[in-house]
Amino acid sequence: MSSMITRSRISSLLARHSRRFLSSNASTHSQKESIIASQSLISDQGLPPQPEAPAPPVGGKRSWTFLKYSLLAAVTGVAATAGYATYAYSADEIDNRTKAFRASVNKTITDSESAEKKFPTLLYSAVMKVPVNAIDFYLDIRRQIEEQIQGFAEPISDKLLPDLHPLEQHVFTLVLDLNETLVYSDWKRDRGWRTFKRPGVDAFLEHLAKFYEIVIYSDQLSMYVDPVIERLDSEQRIRYRLSRGATKYQDGKHYRDLSKLNRNPGKVIYISGHALESCLQPENCLQIHPWKLEADDTALLDLIPFLEFVATRQPTDIRSVLASYEGKDIPPEFIKRSLEHQRHVFAHTSTGTKARQEFVATLQKDRRNILIGKEVSSDLLIPAQNFEF
């Protein structure tokens, strides 16, 4: 009996425990289902859409692009116009051509004029004031730049030489180039720069200094010219020396401008191995063979008879004399003309054959012995000294 009571109690306890377990499992399962359902709901809904950036207005972008290209085109047009004007016209020509246009902007308006007449005038002045100011600005800038360039391109003075003494107004001026005319500068790796003097240069300077005002006119820097002249002319036969600062820079070259010498152009002779291509006054040029260390060169000595004849006869204008020798080698041509002249003189005088033969023989002798009386050679002038050109 007691055993039956015990079994019934145990079975009731097990039944209650089973119901609690089942109910807890059911609640747990329902909670999981609700969580899963909420997650699926959230995933189905997704994140809220982000607001799109407002698109820029199409009209504003086009306006800015148009303004940018218009400004670029205007700047290009102004630059092209200024470049063409600079190339085709001088500053004075542009000033004269635009003077009337610039003056039209400053037209005065009287009080007696009607409003209908005042308005177009005021509108024209307001619109054209910008290009007028641009022209004035261009002219000012161009003149300033040209003044700066002229300071480098033009000779250092309009009078490169001082005035001649009143008693020397009849004296001719003999202008000599330096390199390849009186000397030659040679460079070699093992010894650097060396300067050699031309055969006959000492005799040439010594003899012609009695008749001429001798001037050196070189396109080299003074730091090269001065030491060379000091060694070349120890007897002070050269009166003046002019270097690169006295030349005119034009088309990428340095030219000798004889008009700046402060001398009568009819009494100036320019001698150079490159005379016609280095001087702005070709009518005053006497071209000789450029010297490049030829030991048998006699070009300077051959010129002495002609130059002495010019200095003693003193023609009114040496340019006409040089023009008569154009295209000819002056030394032999001068001897030829002298012989013809003497033949003509002897033919109309009673002078005998002996005098004529003596004169012809004198002209045909070696000119070094006639005029100088001593031999010359290509002696080394400045040994192993470097010069920066």
Question: Helix 91-104 vs helix 115-153: angle between axes, to the nearest 10 degrees?
Answer: 160
How would you class 359 by CB atoms within 10 Å of its CB: exposed for 0-12, middle for 13-18, buried for 19 or more?
A: middle
Q: Is the pLDDT of residue 373 over 50?
A: no
The predicted pLDDT at position 366 comes to: 45
Q: Is the pLDDT of residue 152 over 90?
A: no
Comparison of pLDDT for 42 and 338, the residue scoring more: 338
CATH architecture, domain 166-382:
3-Layer(aba) Sandwich (3.40)
Q: Is the pLDDT of residue 368 over 50?
A: no
Q: Is the pLDDT of residue 381 over 60?
A: no
DSSP 8-state code for residue 245: G
The predicted pLDDT at position 93 comes to: 77
List the domain boundaries for the chain. 74-153, 166-382
Comparison of pLDDT for 174 and 168, the residue scoring more: 174
CA atoms within 13 A on the CB side of 165: 4
Q: How confident is the model at residue 5 (pLDDT cuts 50, 70, 90)?
A: low
The predicted pLDDT at position 298 comes to: 94
Average pLDDT score over residue span 215-228: 92
Identity of the highest mean pLDDT range in 14-28, 106-120, 205-219: 205-219
CA distances from 254 to 155, 248, 279, 344 (A): 10, 5, 9, 46
Question: pLDDT averaged over the chain?
Answer: 76
- CB under 8 A, 24+ apart: contacts of 16-25: none
Average pLDDT score over residue span 311-323: 94
Q: Is the pLDDT of residue 26 over 60?
A: no
Q: How confident is the model at residue 89 (pLDDT cuts 50, 70, 90)?
A: confident
Dist. CA 225–CA 243, nearest whole Å: 7
Dist. CA 167–CA 347, nearest whole Å: 39
Q: Is the pLDDT of residue 291 over 50?
A: yes
Q: How confident is the model at residue 127 (pLDDT cuts 50, 70, 90)?
A: low
